[in-house]
Structure 1
């Protein structure tokens, strides 16, 4: 495989990010969104993450995006300011090739350079690949909420994993 590079996302990446994300929206319970995200909406999300001083990274190979990872504030109250929620999504062709690990490690390294103490990953269940990725990187499961989402006519559980950075 040709070398994969990790870089900060730009607003110009919005359409390619939508192409990765929207199949999850349309066909899985991994995302709790129910409608496809537009390029302009995704560009606004990228901008908002940047304005919050947090990283949004993309993995790229030969000019093609293979996946992305970003962090958002865990909650809005000031006392939560050192906790973030992380997300990572891969193009279907990139799954199982180490791209998720590469991206997530880069995100965690970027967060270590900020005033971030705790990273929280919420994972719709079941999702053994995402659980394995989080646990491989040192996250530990701390919560499980039953039937907190409803999509495609069924109830969806969500588990939460945490990783203390400092």
Structure 2
């Protein structure tokens, strides 16, 4: 089931996210988050943008949301997307289901452009974005440093 996020989801969401903070370059965050920090994030983001979860048997297996791309008013119809899937549930098309719903909601709210920023390499996320019609529009080399190495970041864009 895909549904809007609630504050009660914070612990499950932070557990999903912190796995990637600790074990991968998918996020360039370096320090794990607390459930309280994610509660604040949920409140802030869900006030203005879609923030959804994928749930099975009362367990959150993934989440996705849109957020501010840049703060200048002229960018108000452009958003940046985020999706994370519980690491034990990868390959089950949960990300595709979440993105389908998120893009549907954003189109209905008259957003014009959606952007996905990816730490590279990340073949699964590149494939997810390109399957929805996103096109790579930028590649920044060695802009993030994690696990003793420099990492590239790419941006993919879709016009709704």
**TM-score range with shorter-chain normalisation?**
over 0.9
CA distance in 1, matches of 2:133, 2:56: 26
CA distance in 2, matches of 1:7, 1:37: 23
Q: Aligned to 1:16, what secondary structure does the other structure show?
A: helix
Match of 2:137 in 1: 142
User: Which of 47, 50, 59 is the aligned partner of 2:46?
Assistant: 50
Aligned residues: 160
CA distance in 1, matches of 2:102, 2:38: 19
**Aligned-pair distance for 1:115?**
3.0
CA distance in 2, matches of 1:71, 1:97: 22
Match of 2:2 in 1: 6
* 1:77-96 aligned within 5 A: 77-96=72-91
Match of 2:55 in 1: 60
Q: Aligned to 1:32, what secondary structure does the other structure show?
A: coil
Coordinate RMSD, CA, aligned: 0.7
If the length of structure 2 is used for normalisation, what is the TM-score? Answer: 0.98
Match of 1:29 in 2: 25
Query: C-alpha deviations, 1:10-45, integer Å up to 9, x for none?
Result: 111000001111010001111111111100000110
* 1:61-140 aligned within 5 A: 61-140=56-135
Q: Aligned to 2:39, what secondary structure does the other structure show?
A: helix
- Structure 1's unaligned 5+ residue stretches are none
If the length of structure 1 is used for normalisation, what is the TM-score? Answer: 0.95
